A and B are shown apart, each in its own frame.
Chain A
Amino acid sequence: MNFDWSEFFTFATLTKTIRILIILAVGIAITYTIAYLVKKVLPVKWSRQRKMIINRVIQYTGFVIVFLIIISELEINLAPIFGAAGIIGLVVGVASQTSIGNIISGFFLISEKSFEIGDVIRLGDKTGTVFSIDLLSIKIRTFDNLLIRLPNQMVISTELINLTRFPIRRMDILISVAYKEDLGKVKRILDQIARQNPQCLDEPVPVIIFQNFGTSGIEILLGIWVEKSNFLTVKNTVFQEIKQAFDQEGIEIPFPHVSLYAGENTQPIPVLVKK
């Protein structure tokens, strides 16, 4: 197959190519400049998410306009393209149904407002801070600094927990104490720990619930309210304080154990020592 390149590289095509490249460069530069300037003048109190959506809308509109200008510059007749749009749409739709699903899911996610950029969310076994909400996916930054991309379609169909939506959180600590312990005393100690830690909120009041007669001990739930920014600090200090207080008061935190009986309730298991 012989293709005559000299016919293609004429002065006219060269001029057109340069003009298209200039349009592309200037168009993209103008789009980004407008997006940047709008971002600067948006009210400070607006959420990062709202600002990002406005930014993206400006960018995508700018790209579409640049694309249309280039098409007209190339003197491509759009009528047949639009005429064939039905068939093309069908083909593209079948080929990119996942992507379209993600885009549509993205709109639902944004309108639903179940989370915003900067919120800490848990999705299945993944927890992290929402880093960006994009056309096809959301990106979260985990606490060990990994970036996870989650397709919008998956996000919308999975149970999502927003850990930082509300300004305060209840921190639940499950504690187990031995059956022999005085539960009134244990409750008093836990209550004191919650009240003496200045970062544990006075109100809503801490809650202590005797949960279960467990296999190794009695399980108690201590629920302490904290400001979300203090969550980890309080968790660590309260854990230490519980351990310290229980050690001081001689309260046993049981490890899993099994009691064996040799037929009679109070008799020990007979042990024979051979010399």
Chain B
Amino acid sequence: MYPFFGKYQMMPGETRIFSSGNFSLGVKREKEGWILLYPDCFREGENTNPNFSLGEYFQTGKSNSLILSPALPVKPLVFKGSQLHVSPTQKLTFFLTIPITIQVYFSKILPENLLKELPAKRLSDTWFGEAFDGEPAFSLGSEFFRKMDQLEIPSFHAVCPVTIFNNSSILLEVERLIIRVENMAIYRKEEKLISSQVAIEYKGKEVISSASFNYSKIHHGEKAEIVTRPRIEASTNLLKINFHFIKNLYRQEL
């Protein structure tokens, strides 16, 4: 499915174009470094002989190894779940597709060896929470799937299983839900990339909910291979604001 993720050996002077769907990445190995040519430098139909003088140079040393690895976006994602309702004591599971980013490393996968991180798709910026104390995020839109087999996964996307348990006494109308991708890993199940399962317990509008990010045998299978570790491994269970309910910002102004 993603033929170009993996480890490559390239000798000085060698060039290579990694291409899939609308995404193209040019790589040239120099004597002690790498030139990367980003997708916006490629013109349509010019994938065979790109102009590497437009690329960015990285001095890295003598290692001839290059690693391309998938990762989840750098900011949390906001899901607009305006059509989702969960009654008290009910549990809802649904699936989202998350656009991934491509990380380019030399030698080994270590934070200091990261050359570049390129999003396969530029998501729109958004804001989760109030205008005075929220947090920056990317907008994920409102599309969701009730079953995994309904999913047609676009290229460079990972599946994200989400479970919401309404542990309050009132109906939960999901308006905005934040997916904290920085705490999530990516697993490979057959040809699919599946992120950690997001399990959220809703306790009421004014109460902080708990979110955990787990490996789930139901969704990931018995022995799924971990492809990418979470950016923040500090905790798998977070007590944070996970839901936001929209207020009319302009009510007083107009």
Kindly report which residue of chain B lies nearest to residue A195, judged by CB atoms: B124
Across the interface, do A198 and B127 meet the contact criterion of CB distance under 8 Å? no
Let me know if B125 is at the binding interface, CB within 8 A: yes
Across the interface, do B131 and A199 meet the contact criterion of CB distance under 8 Å? no
**Interface residues of A, CB < 8 Å — how many?**
17
**Subset of 12 A-B contacts with CB under 8 Å:** A166-B132, A168-B131, A198-B125, A200-B124, A201-B124, A201-B125, A202-B126, A203-B78, A203-B127, A203-B128, A209-B254, A225-B131
Looking at chain B's contact residues, is the secondary structure mostly helix, strand, loop, or mixed?
Answer: loop
Let me know if A204 is at the binding interface, CB within 8 A: yes
Residues of B within 8 A of A202 (CB): 78, 124-127, 139
* Interfacial residues of chain A within 174-217, with CB under 8 A of chain B in the complex: 195, 198-204, 207, 209
Across the interface, do A204 and B123 meet the contact criterion of CB distance under 8 Å? no
Let me know if A227 is at the binding interface, CB within 8 A: yes
User: In the bound complex, what is the Cα–Cα distance between A227 and B126 (angstroms)?
Assistant: 9
Residues of B within 8 A of A201 (CB): 124-127
Given contacts A168-B131, A203-B78, A203-B176, contact A227 B123 (CB under 8 A): no
Chain B residues with CB under 8 Å of chain A are: 78, 122-128, 131-134, 136, 139, 176, 246, 249-250, 254
Across the interface, do B250 and A227 meet the contact criterion of CB distance under 8 Å? no
Across the interface, do B132 and A198 meet the contact criterion of CB distance under 8 Å? no
Let me know if A167 is at the binding interface, CB within 8 A: yes
Across the interface, do B136 and A200 meet the contact criterion of CB distance under 8 Å? no
Centre residue among A167, A195, A200 by max chain B CB count within 10 A: A167
Residue among A166, A198, A204, A227 making CB contact with B136, cutoff 8 Å: A227
Residues of A within 8 A of B250 (CB): 207
Residues of B within 8 A of A207 (CB): 250
Given contacts A166-B132, A167-B136, contact A204 B127 (CB under 8 A): yes
Residue among A167, A203, A209, A225 making CB contact with B139, cutoff 8 Å: A203
